[in-house]
Amino acid sequence: MASGRVRRVADRIRVIVAELLEFRIKDVRLGFVTITDVRVTGDTQHASIFYTVLGDDEQRLASGAALESARGMIRSEVGKQLGMRHTPTLEFILDALPETAAHIEDLLARARRNDAEVAAAAASASYAGDADPYKHPDTDELVADALESGGPVAADTLESGGPTAAEADARA
Write out pLDDT tens, residues 55-68: 888 888 999 999 99
Task: Report angle CA 65, 95, 32 to the nearest 5 degrees.
Answer: 55
Write out pLDDT tens, residues 84-118: 889 999 999 998 877 788 889 999 999 999 999 99
Q: What confidence tier does 149 reach under pLDDT thresholds 50, 70, 90?
A: confident
CA distances 145 to 4, 138, 139, 140, 159, Å, are 72, 11, 10, 9, 17
Residue 93 confidence (pLDDT): 92
Residue 143 confidence (pLDDT): 66
State which fold the 4-97 domain adopts: GMP Synthetase; Chain A, domain 3 (3.30.300)
Q: Where do the structural domains in the chain lie, given as residue ranges?
A: 4-97, 139-171
Residue 153 confidence (pLDDT): 58
Write out pLDDT tens, residues 150-168: 666 555 544 555 555 555 5
CA atoms within 13 A on the CB side of 130: 5
Q: What confidence tier does 19 reach under pLDDT thresholds 50, 70, 90?
A: very high
Q: Which residues pair with 52 in a beta bridge?
A: 34
Q: What mean pLDDT is predicted for residues 38-50?
A: 93
